[in-house]
Structure 1
Protein backbone atom coordinates (compact mmCIF):
# COMPACT_ATOMS: atom_id res chain seq x y z
CA UNK A 1 0.00 0.00 0.00
CA UNK A 2 1.31 3.46 -0.87
CA UNK A 3 1.63 5.76 2.10
CA UNK A 4 -0.89 8.62 1.84
CA UNK A 5 1.72 11.18 2.90
CA UNK A 6 3.95 10.06 0.04
CA UNK A 7 1.04 10.54 -2.40
CA UNK A 8 0.36 14.04 -1.13
CA UNK A 9 4.03 14.93 -1.44
CA UNK A 10 4.14 13.66 -5.04
CA UNK A 11 1.01 15.65 -5.91
CA UNK A 12 2.46 18.80 -4.39
CA UNK A 13 5.69 18.43 -6.37
CA UNK A 14 3.76 17.75 -9.59
CA UNK A 15 1.50 20.79 -9.37
CA UNK A 16 4.35 23.00 -8.18
CA UNK A 17 6.37 22.07 -11.25
CA UNK A 18 3.56 22.23 -13.81
CA UNK A 19 1.59 25.30 -12.67
CA UNK A 20 2.36 28.42 -14.74
CA UNK A 21 4.35 31.03 -12.93
CA UNK A 22 2.83 34.47 -12.48
CA UNK A 23 5.04 37.51 -12.09
CA UNK A 24 4.75 39.00 -8.64
CA UNK A 25 6.68 41.95 -7.32
CA UNK A 26 4.73 43.22 -4.34
CA UNK A 27 5.88 45.82 -1.84
CA UNK A 28 3.68 47.09 0.97
CA UNK A 29 4.08 50.74 1.97
CA UNK A 30 1.78 53.49 3.22
CA UNK A 31 0.76 56.99 2.21
CA UNK A 32 -0.78 59.72 4.33
CA UNK A 33 -4.11 61.16 3.21
CA UNK A 34 -4.09 64.90 2.48
CA UNK A 35 -7.18 67.09 2.42
CA UNK A 36 -8.17 68.12 -1.09
CA UNK A 37 -11.89 68.85 -1.04
CA UNK A 38 -12.91 68.67 2.65
CA UNK A 39 -16.64 68.61 1.92
CA UNK A 40 -18.78 68.33 -1.19
CA UNK A 41 -22.21 69.99 -1.35
CA UNK A 42 -25.08 68.09 0.28
CA UNK A 43 -26.75 66.72 -2.85
CA UNK A 44 -23.75 64.50 -3.44
CA UNK A 45 -23.43 62.51 -0.22
CA UNK A 46 -21.80 59.35 -1.55
CA UNK A 47 -19.42 60.16 -4.46
CA UNK A 48 -19.47 56.53 -5.53
CA UNK A 49 -17.39 57.29 -8.61
CA UNK A 50 -14.96 60.11 -9.40
CA UNK A 51 -13.79 61.65 -12.67
CA UNK A 52 -12.16 64.87 -13.93
CA UNK A 53 -13.65 66.46 -17.06
CA UNK A 54 -13.93 70.07 -18.32
CA UNK A 55 -11.93 71.42 -15.35
CA UNK A 56 -14.46 70.03 -12.87
CA UNK A 57 -14.78 66.94 -10.72
CA UNK A 58 -17.69 64.61 -11.40
CA UNK A 59 -19.49 62.15 -9.18
CA UNK A 60 -22.87 60.61 -8.38
CA UNK A 61 -24.83 58.89 -5.65
CA UNK A 62 -25.27 55.13 -5.75
CA UNK A 63 -28.32 52.87 -5.32
CA UNK A 64 -31.56 54.76 -4.92
CA UNK A 65 -30.07 58.11 -5.92
CA UNK A 66 -31.32 60.24 -8.78
CA UNK A 67 -30.24 59.44 -12.32
CA UNK A 68 -27.98 62.48 -12.23
CA UNK A 69 -24.30 63.18 -12.67
CA UNK A 70 -22.89 66.11 -10.66
CA UNK A 71 -19.99 68.36 -11.62
CA UNK A 72 -18.37 70.20 -8.70
CA UNK A 73 -15.51 72.61 -8.17
CA UNK A 74 -12.41 72.49 -5.97
CA UNK A 75 -14.44 74.34 -3.33
CA UNK A 76 -16.95 71.47 -3.23
CA UNK A 77 -19.75 73.52 -4.78
CA UNK A 78 -21.92 71.71 -7.32
CA UNK A 79 -21.86 73.56 -10.63
CA UNK A 80 -23.55 71.09 -12.99
CA UNK A 81 -26.47 68.69 -12.64
CA UNK A 82 -26.72 66.35 -15.62
CA UNK A 83 -29.80 64.16 -15.88
CA UNK A 84 -29.33 60.94 -17.86
CA UNK A 85 -32.38 60.56 -20.09
CA UNK A 86 -34.19 57.22 -19.92
CA UNK A 87 -31.79 55.93 -17.25
CA UNK A 88 -32.38 54.57 -13.77
CA UNK A 89 -30.00 54.53 -10.82
CA UNK A 90 -30.37 50.96 -9.63
CA UNK A 91 -26.83 50.85 -8.24
CA UNK A 92 -24.41 53.21 -10.01
CA UNK A 93 -20.87 52.44 -8.91
CA UNK A 94 -18.16 53.59 -11.32
CA UNK A 95 -17.37 56.19 -13.96
CA UNK A 96 -14.66 56.45 -16.62
CA UNK A 97 -14.12 58.20 -19.94
CA UNK A 98 -12.17 58.25 -23.17
CA UNK A 99 -11.70 61.03 -25.74
CA UNK A 100 -15.32 61.15 -26.91
CA UNK A 101 -17.48 59.42 -24.30
CA UNK A 102 -18.26 59.05 -20.61
CA UNK A 103 -19.22 55.61 -19.27
CA UNK A 104 -21.23 55.20 -16.06
CA UNK A 105 -21.53 51.71 -14.60
CA UNK A 106 -24.87 50.57 -13.19
CA UNK A 107 -23.54 47.21 -12.08
CA UNK A 108 -23.49 47.22 -8.27
CA UNK A 109 -24.72 43.75 -7.26
CA UNK A 110 -24.13 43.04 -3.56
CA UNK A 111 -26.63 40.18 -3.52
CA UNK A 112 -25.63 38.67 -6.86
CA UNK A 113 -29.24 38.58 -8.06
CA UNK A 114 -29.30 41.25 -10.78
CA UNK A 115 -30.00 40.40 -14.41
CA UNK A 116 -30.09 44.01 -15.62
CA UNK A 117 -26.42 45.01 -15.45
CA UNK A 118 -25.49 47.86 -17.77
CA UNK A 119 -23.20 50.76 -18.56
CA UNK A 120 -24.58 54.11 -19.70
CA UNK A 121 -22.64 55.77 -22.50
CA UNK A 122 -22.76 59.58 -22.91
CA UNK A 123 -21.27 61.74 -25.66
CA UNK A 124 -19.01 64.38 -24.17
CA UNK A 125 -20.06 66.89 -26.84
CA UNK A 126 -23.65 66.65 -25.56
CA UNK A 127 -22.67 68.19 -22.21
CA UNK A 128 -23.05 71.95 -22.50
CA UNK A 129 -22.28 74.86 -20.17
CA UNK A 130 -25.84 74.87 -18.81
CA UNK A 131 -25.95 74.24 -15.08
CA UNK A 132 -28.96 71.92 -15.39
CA UNK A 133 -29.47 69.78 -18.46
CA UNK A 134 -30.54 66.40 -19.79
CA UNK A 135 -28.40 64.18 -22.04
CA UNK A 136 -29.13 61.14 -24.18
CA UNK A 137 -27.57 57.80 -23.32
CA UNK A 138 -26.77 54.53 -25.03
CA UNK A 139 -26.75 51.25 -23.09
CA UNK A 140 -24.06 48.61 -22.99
CA UNK A 141 -25.79 45.63 -21.39
CA UNK A 142 -24.00 42.56 -20.10
CA UNK A 143 -24.25 39.43 -18.02
CA UNK A 144 -21.68 37.10 -16.50
CA UNK A 145 -21.37 34.01 -18.69
CA UNK A 146 -20.26 31.83 -15.76
CA UNK A 147 -23.09 32.83 -13.43
CA UNK A 148 -25.52 29.95 -13.06
CA UNK A 149 -27.19 30.92 -9.77
CA UNK A 150 -28.78 34.25 -8.86
CA UNK A 151 -29.33 33.30 -5.23
CA UNK A 152 -26.57 34.37 -2.85
CA UNK A 153 -26.47 35.53 0.73
CA UNK A 154 -26.01 39.29 0.98
CA UNK A 155 -22.33 40.27 0.53
CA UNK A 156 -21.33 36.74 -0.47
CA UNK A 157 -21.37 36.86 -4.26
CA UNK A 158 -18.41 36.89 -6.65
CA UNK A 159 -20.59 38.73 -9.22
CA UNK A 160 -20.45 42.22 -7.76
CA UNK A 161 -18.54 45.08 -9.41
CA UNK A 162 -17.74 48.69 -8.51
CA UNK A 163 -14.65 49.46 -10.63
CA UNK A 164 -14.16 50.21 -14.33
CA UNK A 165 -11.61 51.89 -16.62
CA UNK A 166 -11.60 52.80 -20.31
CA UNK A 167 -8.37 51.78 -22.03
CA UNK A 168 -7.45 51.31 -25.70
CA UNK A 169 -11.08 51.56 -26.83
CA UNK A 170 -12.23 48.84 -24.43
CA UNK A 171 -13.87 48.85 -21.01
CA UNK A 172 -12.26 46.85 -18.20
CA UNK A 173 -14.24 45.82 -15.13
CA UNK A 174 -12.72 44.67 -11.83
CA UNK A 175 -15.00 42.56 -9.65
CA UNK A 176 -15.70 43.08 -5.97
CA UNK A 177 -15.45 39.43 -5.02
CA UNK A 178 -17.07 39.00 -1.62
CA UNK A 179 -16.36 35.29 -1.61
CA UNK A 180 -12.56 35.07 -1.61
CA UNK A 181 -11.33 38.71 -1.69
CA UNK A 182 -9.86 38.42 -5.18
CA UNK A 183 -10.75 40.56 -8.18
CA UNK A 184 -11.68 39.18 -11.58
CA UNK A 185 -10.85 41.18 -14.70
CA UNK A 186 -13.45 41.44 -17.48
CA UNK A 187 -13.28 43.14 -20.88
CA UNK A 188 -16.15 44.77 -22.77
CA UNK A 189 -16.57 46.63 -26.07
CA UNK A 190 -17.48 50.32 -25.87
CA UNK A 191 -20.26 49.93 -28.44
CA UNK A 192 -23.95 49.68 -27.57
CA UNK A 193 -25.06 46.07 -27.37
CA UNK A 194 -25.71 43.02 -25.20
CA UNK A 195 -22.73 40.94 -24.15
CA UNK A 196 -21.76 37.88 -22.13
CA UNK A 197 -18.44 38.31 -20.36
CA UNK A 198 -15.99 35.89 -18.82
CA UNK A 199 -12.91 36.69 -16.70
CA UNK A 200 -9.67 37.21 -18.59
CA UNK A 201 -7.49 37.27 -15.45
CA UNK A 202 -7.63 37.36 -11.67
CA UNK A 203 -5.55 38.89 -8.88
CA UNK A 204 -5.48 38.27 -5.15
CA UNK A 205 -6.11 41.79 -3.82
CA UNK A 206 -6.93 40.41 -0.36
CA UNK A 207 -9.90 42.73 -0.03
CA UNK A 208 -12.84 44.38 -1.77
CA UNK A 209 -12.22 46.57 -4.82
CA UNK A 210 -14.42 49.67 -4.99
CA UNK A 211 -12.86 51.79 -7.74
CA UNK A 212 -10.30 51.95 -10.53
CA UNK A 213 -8.55 54.45 -12.79
CA UNK A 214 -5.64 54.56 -15.20
CA UNK A 215 -3.06 57.36 -15.29
CA UNK A 216 -3.11 60.02 -18.05
CA UNK A 217 0.04 58.52 -19.59
CA UNK A 218 -1.66 55.07 -19.53
CA UNK A 219 1.28 53.54 -17.68
CA UNK A 220 -0.24 52.94 -14.23
CA UNK A 221 -3.47 51.27 -13.18
CA UNK A 222 -4.80 52.06 -9.70
CA UNK A 223 -7.40 50.09 -7.75
CA UNK A 224 -8.97 51.34 -4.51
CA UNK A 225 -10.51 49.06 -1.90
CA UNK A 226 -10.75 48.13 1.74
CA UNK A 227 -10.55 45.25 4.16
CA UNK A 228 -11.23 45.21 7.91
CA UNK A 229 -12.07 48.95 7.86
CA UNK A 230 -8.69 49.83 6.36
CA UNK A 231 -8.44 51.42 2.94
CA UNK A 232 -5.72 50.45 0.52
CA UNK A 233 -4.62 51.04 -3.05
CA UNK A 234 -3.04 48.71 -5.58
CA UNK A 235 -0.78 50.11 -8.30
CA UNK A 236 0.10 48.13 -11.43
CA UNK A 237 2.80 49.29 -13.84
CA UNK A 238 5.08 47.94 -16.59
CA UNK A 239 2.27 45.72 -17.85
CA UNK A 240 2.25 44.29 -21.39
CA UNK A 241 -0.65 45.62 -23.50
CA UNK A 242 -3.83 45.21 -21.41
CA UNK A 243 -2.53 42.41 -19.19
CA UNK A 244 -2.44 44.63 -16.12
CA UNK A 245 -1.81 41.90 -13.56
CA UNK A 246 1.31 40.66 -15.36
CA UNK A 247 3.18 43.87 -14.55
CA UNK A 248 4.73 45.07 -11.31
CA UNK A 249 2.32 45.51 -8.41
CA UNK A 250 2.44 47.44 -5.19
CA UNK A 251 0.10 47.65 -2.21
CA UNK A 252 -0.29 51.01 -0.48
CA UNK A 253 -2.16 51.34 2.78
CA UNK A 254 -3.91 54.70 3.06
CA UNK A 255 -3.17 56.26 6.43
CA UNK A 256 -5.49 58.75 8.04
CA UNK A 257 -8.77 57.43 6.67
CA UNK A 258 -9.36 54.23 8.62
CA UNK A 259 -13.10 53.66 8.81
CA UNK A 260 -13.85 55.75 5.73
CA UNK A 261 -15.97 54.12 3.04
CA UNK A 262 -13.66 54.76 0.12
CA UNK A 263 -15.56 54.63 -3.17
CA UNK A 264 -14.14 56.56 -6.12
CA UNK A 265 -10.62 57.07 -7.45
CA UNK A 266 -9.06 59.11 -10.24
CA UNK A 267 -5.63 60.40 -11.19
CA UNK A 268 -5.18 64.15 -10.77
CA UNK A 269 -1.99 63.74 -12.80
CA UNK A 270 0.52 60.94 -13.34
CA UNK A 271 1.91 61.35 -9.81
CA UNK A 272 -1.18 62.23 -7.73
CA UNK A 273 -4.35 60.29 -7.01
CA UNK A 274 -7.70 61.49 -5.67
CA UNK A 275 -9.91 59.23 -3.56
CA UNK A 276 -13.52 59.97 -2.60
CA UNK A 277 -15.46 58.71 0.38
CA UNK A 278 -19.13 58.88 1.22
CA UNK A 279 -20.72 60.55 4.23
CA UNK A 280 -20.42 58.51 7.43
CA UNK A 281 -20.25 59.00 11.20
CA UNK A 282 -16.51 59.65 10.97
CA UNK A 283 -16.18 61.57 7.70
CA UNK A 284 -17.91 64.11 5.52
CA UNK A 285 -18.42 63.23 1.89
CA UNK A 286 -15.10 64.47 0.57
CA UNK A 287 -12.06 63.94 -1.63
CA UNK A 288 -8.53 63.11 -0.41
CA UNK A 289 -5.21 63.50 -2.21
CA UNK A 290 -2.40 60.93 -2.23
CA UNK A 291 0.97 62.10 -3.57
CA UNK A 292 2.78 59.22 -5.26
CA UNK A 293 6.02 61.23 -5.29
CA UNK A 294 6.26 60.52 -1.58
CA UNK A 295 6.69 56.86 -2.44
CA UNK A 296 9.72 57.73 -4.55
CA UNK A 297 11.49 60.06 -2.13
CA UNK A 298 11.14 57.77 0.88
CA UNK A 299 8.87 60.01 2.97
CA UNK A 300 6.12 57.37 3.35
Structure 2
Protein backbone atom coordinates (compact mmCIF):
# COMPACT_ATOMS: atom_id res chain seq x y z
CA UNK A 1 0.00 0.00 0.00
CA UNK A 2 2.83 2.42 0.90
CA UNK A 3 4.62 1.74 -2.40
CA UNK A 4 1.40 2.34 -4.37
CA UNK A 5 0.86 5.63 -2.55
CA UNK A 6 4.47 6.66 -3.17
CA UNK A 7 4.19 5.88 -6.89
CA UNK A 8 1.13 8.12 -7.09
CA UNK A 9 2.54 11.02 -5.07
CA UNK A 10 6.05 11.27 -6.55
CA UNK A 11 4.88 12.30 -10.05
CA UNK A 12 2.57 14.90 -8.46
CA UNK A 13 5.44 16.26 -6.36
CA UNK A 14 7.72 16.50 -9.40
CA UNK A 15 5.04 18.21 -11.46
CA UNK A 16 4.34 20.79 -8.75
CA UNK A 17 8.05 21.41 -8.31
CA UNK A 18 8.57 22.06 -12.01
CA UNK A 19 5.59 24.42 -12.15
CA UNK A 20 5.76 26.24 -8.82
CA UNK A 21 9.26 26.12 -7.44
CA UNK A 22 11.18 27.75 -10.26
CA UNK A 23 14.48 26.52 -11.55
CA UNK A 24 16.98 27.41 -8.84
CA UNK A 25 18.03 29.81 -6.13
CA UNK A 26 21.22 30.96 -7.83
CA UNK A 27 22.62 33.22 -5.08
CA UNK A 28 23.95 35.89 -7.41
CA UNK A 29 25.56 33.54 -9.94
CA UNK A 30 23.22 34.56 -12.78
CA UNK A 31 19.67 33.52 -13.61
CA UNK A 32 18.55 30.09 -14.76
CA UNK A 33 16.38 31.13 -17.69
CA UNK A 34 13.57 28.80 -18.73
CA UNK A 35 14.03 27.44 -22.25
CA UNK A 36 10.87 25.39 -22.75
CA UNK A 37 10.30 27.03 -26.11
CA UNK A 38 13.72 25.96 -27.40
CA UNK A 39 13.25 22.19 -27.08
CA UNK A 40 10.78 19.53 -28.12
CA UNK A 41 10.57 16.78 -25.48
CA UNK A 42 8.87 13.49 -26.22
CA UNK A 43 8.92 9.90 -25.04
CA UNK A 44 10.77 7.74 -27.57
CA UNK A 45 10.77 4.34 -25.92
CA UNK A 46 10.80 2.24 -22.80
CA UNK A 47 13.13 -0.35 -21.32
CA UNK A 48 11.49 -3.53 -20.05
CA UNK A 49 12.03 -3.59 -16.29
CA UNK A 50 12.32 -7.38 -16.19
CA UNK A 51 15.31 -7.06 -18.54
CA UNK A 52 16.91 -3.81 -17.32
CA UNK A 53 16.20 -3.35 -13.62
CA UNK A 54 16.24 0.24 -12.26
CA UNK A 55 18.22 1.88 -15.06
CA UNK A 56 20.39 4.51 -13.40
CA UNK A 57 22.93 5.65 -16.00
CA UNK A 58 23.13 6.20 -19.75
CA UNK A 59 25.99 6.58 -22.24
CA UNK A 60 26.05 6.65 -26.01
CA UNK A 61 27.33 3.33 -27.36
CA UNK A 62 27.71 3.87 -31.11
CA UNK A 63 26.82 6.04 -34.07
CA UNK A 64 23.49 4.22 -34.50
CA UNK A 65 22.25 5.77 -31.26
CA UNK A 66 22.31 2.62 -29.12
CA UNK A 67 22.84 3.19 -25.40
CA UNK A 68 24.68 1.58 -22.52
CA UNK A 69 22.83 1.47 -19.21
CA UNK A 70 23.07 -0.36 -15.88
CA UNK A 71 21.07 -1.23 -12.79
CA UNK A 72 21.00 0.73 -9.55
CA UNK A 73 22.73 -0.25 -6.31
CA UNK A 74 22.48 -3.85 -5.18
CA UNK A 75 21.68 -5.14 -8.65
CA UNK A 76 23.90 -7.16 -10.97
CA UNK A 77 27.29 -6.02 -12.30
CA UNK A 78 25.89 -5.99 -15.84
CA UNK A 79 25.92 -3.39 -18.56
CA UNK A 80 22.95 -3.45 -20.90
CA UNK A 81 23.05 -2.37 -24.53
CA UNK A 82 19.67 -1.05 -25.65
CA UNK A 83 18.33 0.57 -28.80
CA UNK A 84 17.23 4.23 -28.77
CA UNK A 85 13.72 2.86 -28.17
CA UNK A 86 14.85 0.78 -25.18
CA UNK A 87 14.88 -2.71 -26.69
CA UNK A 88 17.55 -4.92 -25.12
CA UNK A 89 20.30 -5.91 -27.55
CA UNK A 90 22.89 -7.39 -25.22
CA UNK A 91 23.78 -8.05 -21.60
CA UNK A 92 27.48 -7.64 -20.76
CA UNK A 93 28.77 -8.77 -17.34
CA UNK A 94 31.55 -6.49 -16.05
CA UNK A 95 34.12 -8.94 -14.71
CA UNK A 96 36.01 -7.73 -11.66
CA UNK A 97 33.50 -5.03 -10.68
CA UNK A 98 30.79 -5.37 -8.07
CA UNK A 99 27.73 -3.14 -7.83
CA UNK A 100 27.58 -1.57 -4.38
CA UNK A 101 25.68 1.46 -5.67
CA UNK A 102 26.24 2.21 -9.35
CA UNK A 103 24.69 5.58 -10.16
CA UNK A 104 25.91 6.99 -13.48
CA UNK A 105 28.04 6.46 -16.59
CA UNK A 106 30.62 8.76 -18.16
CA UNK A 107 32.24 8.39 -21.56
CA UNK A 108 35.65 9.39 -22.86
CA UNK A 109 34.59 9.62 -26.49
CA UNK A 110 38.14 9.97 -27.84
CA UNK A 111 39.66 6.91 -26.18
CA UNK A 112 36.50 4.87 -25.83
CA UNK A 113 36.82 4.50 -22.05
CA UNK A 114 33.56 4.00 -20.17
CA UNK A 115 33.41 4.98 -16.50
CA UNK A 116 30.95 3.49 -13.99
CA UNK A 117 30.33 5.62 -10.92
CA UNK A 118 30.06 3.32 -7.90
CA UNK A 119 29.67 6.27 -5.56
CA UNK A 120 26.06 6.18 -4.42
CA UNK A 121 26.18 7.12 -0.74
CA UNK A 122 22.66 7.61 0.60
CA UNK A 123 23.70 7.44 4.25
CA UNK A 124 26.87 9.50 3.68
CA UNK A 125 28.99 6.89 5.45
CA UNK A 126 30.78 5.00 2.66
CA UNK A 127 34.56 4.83 2.79
CA UNK A 128 34.89 2.75 -0.38
CA UNK A 129 33.86 5.28 -3.04
CA UNK A 130 35.13 4.23 -6.45
CA UNK A 131 34.81 4.54 -10.19
CA UNK A 132 35.47 1.70 -12.61
CA UNK A 133 37.21 2.52 -15.89
CA UNK A 134 36.38 0.05 -18.66
CA UNK A 135 38.52 -0.26 -21.78
CA UNK A 136 39.59 -2.64 -24.49
CA UNK A 137 37.49 -4.82 -26.79
CA UNK A 138 34.22 -5.78 -25.09
CA UNK A 139 35.37 -3.74 -22.05
CA UNK A 140 37.47 -6.64 -20.82
CA UNK A 141 39.91 -4.42 -18.91
CA UNK A 142 38.62 -2.95 -15.66
CA UNK A 143 40.70 -0.45 -13.67
CA UNK A 144 39.61 1.18 -10.42
CA UNK A 145 39.72 4.79 -9.28
CA UNK A 146 39.21 5.16 -5.51
CA UNK A 147 38.67 8.52 -3.89
CA UNK A 148 37.50 10.49 -0.89
CA UNK A 149 36.04 13.96 -0.39
CA UNK A 150 38.47 16.47 1.16
CA UNK A 151 35.80 18.14 3.31
CA UNK A 152 34.24 15.02 4.82
CA UNK A 153 35.41 14.41 8.38
CA UNK A 154 32.72 12.16 9.81
CA UNK A 155 31.02 9.04 8.42
CA UNK A 156 28.21 9.96 8.49
CA UNK A 157 28.20 13.68 9.25
CA UNK A 158 25.36 15.23 11.18
CA UNK A 159 22.18 15.31 9.10
CA UNK A 160 22.37 18.98 8.00
CA UNK A 161 25.88 18.34 6.56
CA UNK A 162 25.06 15.22 4.56
CA UNK A 163 26.14 16.39 1.12
CA UNK A 164 28.46 13.53 0.13
CA UNK A 165 26.06 11.42 -1.90
CA UNK A 166 26.68 11.47 -5.65
CA UNK A 167 24.67 10.24 -8.64
CA UNK A 168 26.05 12.39 -11.45
CA UNK A 169 29.34 12.80 -13.31
CA UNK A 170 30.94 13.28 -16.72
CA UNK A 171 34.38 13.11 -18.35
CA UNK A 172 36.22 16.15 -19.71
CA UNK A 173 39.92 16.84 -20.47
CA UNK A 174 41.30 13.83 -18.56
CA UNK A 175 39.21 14.66 -15.48
CA UNK A 176 35.96 13.46 -13.99
CA UNK A 177 33.43 16.05 -12.82
CA UNK A 178 31.20 14.88 -9.94
CA UNK A 179 28.03 16.56 -8.65
CA UNK A 180 26.49 15.84 -5.25
CA UNK A 181 22.95 14.87 -4.38
CA UNK A 182 22.46 16.95 -1.25
CA UNK A 183 20.69 15.05 1.52
CA UNK A 184 21.48 17.73 4.07
CA UNK A 185 20.47 21.35 4.48
CA UNK A 186 20.57 24.21 2.02
CA UNK A 187 20.10 22.64 -1.46
CA UNK A 188 23.78 23.14 -2.32
CA UNK A 189 25.09 21.08 -5.23
CA UNK A 190 28.86 20.67 -4.94
CA UNK A 191 31.12 20.06 -7.92
CA UNK A 192 34.26 17.97 -7.43
CA UNK A 193 37.05 17.06 -9.85
CA UNK A 194 39.07 13.83 -10.00
CA UNK A 195 41.87 12.62 -12.28
CA UNK A 196 40.39 10.13 -14.75
CA UNK A 197 43.09 7.54 -14.09
CA UNK A 198 43.38 4.53 -11.79
CA UNK A 199 44.72 5.05 -8.29
CA UNK A 200 43.78 6.57 -4.96
CA UNK A 201 42.78 10.23 -5.16
CA UNK A 202 41.40 13.07 -3.08
CA UNK A 203 38.65 14.86 -4.98
CA UNK A 204 39.03 18.62 -5.42
CA UNK A 205 36.09 20.82 -4.50
CA UNK A 206 35.76 23.17 -7.50
CA UNK A 207 32.43 24.99 -7.17
CA UNK A 208 28.92 24.88 -5.70
CA UNK A 209 25.51 26.38 -6.36
CA UNK A 210 21.99 26.19 -4.97
CA UNK A 211 19.60 24.07 -7.02
CA UNK A 212 16.25 23.21 -5.48
CA UNK A 213 16.10 19.57 -6.52
CA UNK A 214 18.31 16.49 -6.31
CA UNK A 215 20.79 16.03 -9.17
CA UNK A 216 20.67 12.47 -10.48
CA UNK A 217 22.80 12.45 -13.66
CA UNK A 218 25.14 14.65 -15.71
CA UNK A 219 26.79 14.85 -19.12
CA UNK A 220 28.65 17.27 -21.36
CA UNK A 221 27.93 17.70 -25.06
CA UNK A 222 30.52 16.29 -27.50
CA UNK A 223 31.57 19.82 -28.49
CA UNK A 224 32.06 20.76 -24.83
CA UNK A 225 29.73 23.76 -25.04
CA UNK A 226 26.89 22.52 -22.83
CA UNK A 227 26.74 20.73 -19.49
CA UNK A 228 23.43 19.11 -18.55
CA UNK A 229 22.48 18.28 -14.97
CA UNK A 230 19.37 16.15 -14.57
CA UNK A 231 17.03 16.80 -11.67
CA UNK A 232 13.50 15.83 -10.74
CA UNK A 233 11.33 18.01 -12.96
CA UNK A 234 14.15 19.93 -14.66
CA UNK A 235 17.25 19.62 -16.80
CA UNK A 236 19.75 22.35 -15.91
CA UNK A 237 21.96 23.55 -18.79
CA UNK A 238 25.25 25.41 -18.27
CA UNK A 239 27.62 26.85 -20.89
CA UNK A 240 31.21 26.46 -19.60
CA UNK A 241 33.49 29.47 -20.05
CA UNK A 242 37.27 29.10 -20.50
CA UNK A 243 39.16 29.96 -17.34
CA UNK A 244 35.99 30.37 -15.26
CA UNK A 245 34.23 28.20 -12.73
CA UNK A 246 31.51 26.05 -14.27
CA UNK A 247 28.56 27.78 -12.62
CA UNK A 248 29.79 31.21 -13.78
CA UNK A 249 28.65 30.24 -17.29
CA UNK A 250 25.29 31.11 -18.80
CA UNK A 251 22.61 28.97 -17.18
CA UNK A 252 19.17 27.83 -18.23
CA UNK A 253 16.70 25.16 -17.26
CA UNK A 254 14.27 22.99 -19.17
CA UNK A 255 11.16 21.90 -17.20
CA UNK A 256 10.42 18.20 -17.83
CA UNK A 257 7.53 17.48 -15.49
CA UNK A 258 6.34 14.54 -17.61
CA UNK A 259 9.56 12.59 -16.97
CA UNK A 260 8.74 11.52 -13.42
CA UNK A 261 11.63 10.39 -11.23
CA UNK A 262 14.39 10.85 -13.81
CA UNK A 263 17.67 9.05 -13.15
CA UNK A 264 19.94 9.06 -16.24
CA UNK A 265 20.94 11.38 -19.09
CA UNK A 266 23.35 11.43 -22.04
CA UNK A 267 23.93 13.70 -25.03
CA UNK A 268 23.41 12.08 -28.43
CA UNK A 269 24.86 15.01 -30.37
CA UNK A 270 25.98 18.57 -29.65
CA UNK A 271 22.47 19.85 -28.93
CA UNK A 272 20.12 16.93 -28.17
CA UNK A 273 20.04 14.52 -25.24
CA UNK A 274 18.07 11.53 -24.00
CA UNK A 275 17.10 10.81 -20.42
CA UNK A 276 15.23 8.07 -18.60
CA UNK A 277 13.26 7.57 -15.41
CA UNK A 278 13.12 4.81 -12.83
CA UNK A 279 10.29 3.08 -14.72
CA UNK A 280 12.53 2.75 -17.79
CA UNK A 281 10.82 5.35 -19.97
CA UNK A 282 13.16 7.04 -22.44
CA UNK A 283 12.71 10.67 -23.47
CA UNK A 284 14.50 12.78 -26.05
CA UNK A 285 14.98 16.54 -25.87
CA UNK A 286 15.56 17.93 -29.37
CA UNK A 287 16.79 21.47 -29.85
CA UNK A 288 14.51 23.43 -32.18
CA UNK A 289 16.09 25.36 -35.07
CA UNK A 290 16.65 29.04 -34.36
CA UNK A 291 14.11 31.32 -36.00
- TM-score normalized by the length of structure 2: 0.82
- Is 1:26 matched up with 2:32? yes
Listed as ranges, the matches of 1:123-134 within 5 Å are 123=135, 125-127=136-138
Aligned counterpart in structure 2 of residue 174 of structure 1, from 155, 179, 198? 179
Contact 1:271 1:293 (8 Å CA) reproduced:
no
Question: In the TM superposition, what are the counterparts of 1:14-163 in structure 2 within 5 Å?
Answer: 23-30=29-36, 33-40=41-48, 42-54=50-62, 55=64, 56-98=66-108, 99-100=110-111, 101-123=113-135, 125-127=136-138, 135-152=140-157, 157-163=162-168
Q: 1:77 to 1:33 in 2, by over 3 A?
A: same
Partner of 2:248: 246
Superposed CA deviations along residues 239-285 of structure 1, whole A, max 9, x for unmatched, are 2257321110012211323xx21000111212211111112xxxxx1
Is 2:242 aligned against 1:234?
A: no
- What is the 5 A alignment of 1:284-295? 285-293=280-288
**Residue deviations 1:24-57 (CA, integer Å, cap 9, x gap):** 1421243663011134462213220011112321
Offset at residue 144 of structure 1 (A): 1.0
Tell me which residue corresponds to 2:24: none
Question: Distance between the aligned counterparts of 1:222 and 1:144, measured in 2?
Answer: 23
Question: Do 2:216 and 2:263's aligned partners in 1 also have CA atoms closer than 8 Å?
Answer: yes
Larger of the two Rg values belongs to structure: 1
The 2-side partners of 1:217 and 1:204 are apart by 26
Q: Structure 1 residues 165 and 39 mapped into 2: Cα distance closer, same or farther (>3 Å)?
A: same
How many equivalent pairs are there?
258
Between 241-250 and 142-151, report the one with greater CA deviation. Answer: 241-250
Matched, 1:195 2:201: yes
CA gap of 1:63–1:32, structure 2 versus 1, over 3 A, is: same
| Structure 2 residue 229 is matched with structure 1 residue 219 | no
Query: TM-score, normalized by length of structure 1?
Result: 0.80
SS in 2 for 1:137: strand
Q: CA deviation at 1:23?
A: 4.3
